[in-house]
Amino acid sequence: MGINPEGPPMGGAEAAQLDADELAETKGSRLDKLRGRWRALPRWQQWLVLSIVALVVFFLPVINPPIITTEPGTDFPLACFDMARFALVALGLNVVVGQAGLLDLGYIGFFAVGSYVAALWTSSDSTYVHIPFLWTLPLAMVVTVFFGVLLGIPTLRLRGDYLAIVTLGFGEIIRLLASIVPALRGNVGFQNVGAPPGTHDGKQIFDNSHGTPWYMMTVAIIIVVMLLLGNLERSRVGRAWVAIREDEDAAETMGVPTFKFKLWAFGTGAAIGGLSGAIFAGQVGFVNNQKFDVATSMLFLAAVVLGGSGNKFGAVIGGAIVSYIPNRFIEIANYKYLIFGVVLIVLMIFRPQGLLPARNHLLAAIGRIRQWTGTASGQPEAAAATDAGRITLRKEEDQ
């Protein structure tokens, strides 16, 4: 010990976590090494870097960087919004699939419910009471949670493949209901879905053809959602989800009310899916039954798996990539399912954990743990090993 015992109190906050990982995967790839170095950084430096990244991401459509831009094929701000929308969906699906390990193939159903909530309460074609668009966002979340619980109560007793089949059915049921139920107007759909208020120079800010304000709003929502999900992750709830994913029976035996927490995972995921659906409806301004097919559901799942199932940053990146590629390389857009299929197969062979693997960071006060275990900050590589040895030695001396 004693090399830097008085180090910054929260300095290298995640170093303790890192040691373990470093020891476990000594042969890590370049990406993993980068991850290791990232984790060794002090907490405030991580926040600084993240803030800068968030700022750049936030103004991405304004910056419109040359090579990255999707123009002239696709309007770049609109492409950015599409990325953000996918990222938000992936973030929600990641809670269900990545965290709790419940394979949901019908996630598009929640997205559809959110879209229809926004349409029904704001569109000029709807006969319902009209409310301001921004109010439909929480309303969409509440309604989709209701649907999530409705689907979850009978189906969450099922496991693995069976759950996947039932959720697949749910996605289809929602799509078919949209076609059959007269109030949902099938193929005709709803025109003029609402938008957030505000005008600039006499023109509406949140216009259907203006991607930038929609994009910025969505990114802001993503950041808030990620912060709240982070809180969930480092709590009893996040631990229960990971425990269920790892061994449901053992979790139950350790006192985890598995059904309740699976339902919470479903509900949380559904709420985020509904939120994304409502924003999507607002931006496009038109909702009908054509956009909620199973293939899109698979695309959502591909985003989560690609980014790294169980890692919220991974899910966001995965979602953005899945949306970005067809917009950027418009000549191959028709082959996107083929390409994603091949990419996923290759990924499963060479990097089955996804781009950013799940990080089990399930306890908040890592700094305290470091005090206990005596992990020195600043030298994450060997710390765990030597520490383990030192503590046992010390114990023997004492006895």
Partner 1 sequence: MSTAIPDPADGRTVTEQEIADIVAPDREIAVSVGEPLVVLDELTVTFGGLTALDHVSFEIRRGEILGLIGPNGAGKTTCFNAMTGVYKPSHGTVTMEGASLVGKKKHAITRAGVARTFQNIRLFGDMTALENVVVGLDARHRTSVPGAIFRTPRHVREERESIERGMALLEFVGIAGEATSPSRSLSYGSQRRLEIARALATEPKLLCLDEPAAGFNPAEKEELMTLIRQIRDDGYTVLLIEHDMKLVMGVTDRIVVLEFGRKIAEGAPKQIQEDPAVIAAYLGVEDDDDGVA
Structure tokens at 295: 């293939």
CB of 27 to partner 1, least distance (A): 14
What are the residue ranges of helices labelled H in the chain? Answer: 15-24, 30-40, 43-58, 60-63, 76-94, 108-122, 133-155, 160-180, 211-233, 236-246, 248-253, 258-284, 294-307, 312-328, 336-350, 366-373, 380-398
Q: What's the closest the beta carbon of residue 252 comes to partner 1, in angstroms?
A: 4
3-class DSSP state of 134: helix
Report how far apart, in Å, the C-alpha atoms of 266 and of each of 5, 51, 152 are: 44, 30, 7
CA dist list (Å): 63 to 57, 75, 87, 316, 369: 9, 13, 20, 20, 42
Q: How many Å from the N-terminal Cα to the C-terminal Cα in the chain?
A: 20
Alpha-carbon distance of 300 to 324, in angstroms, equals: 13
Closest separation in Å from C-beta 254 to partner 1: 5
How near is the Cβ of 314 to partner 1 at its closest, in Å?
15
Measured from the CB atom, the residue of 192 and 386 that comes closer to partner 1 is 386
Binding site for partner 1 (CB under 8 A): 1-2, 5-6, 16-17, 19-21, 23-24, 228, 231-232, 234-240, 242-243, 246-247, 249-258, 264, 268, 358, 360, 362-365, 368-369, 371-375, 384, 387-392, 394-395, 398-399
Pick between residue 4 and residue 290 the one whose CB is nearest to partner 1.
4
| Residue 165 or 391 having the CB closest to partner 1 | 391
Residue number, 11 or 374, with CB nearest to partner 1: 374
Q: Considering the complex, what minimum distance in angstroms separates the CB of residue 371 from partner 1?
A: 5
Q: Residue 204: enclosing H or E segment and its boundaries?
A: strand 203-204
Which of 94, 375 has the CB closer to partner 1?
375
User: Given the complex with partner 1, which of 2 and 182 has the nearer CB atom?
Assistant: 2
Minimum CB separation of residue 267 from partner 1 in Å reads: 8
Rg (alpha carbons) of the chain, rounded to whole number: 23
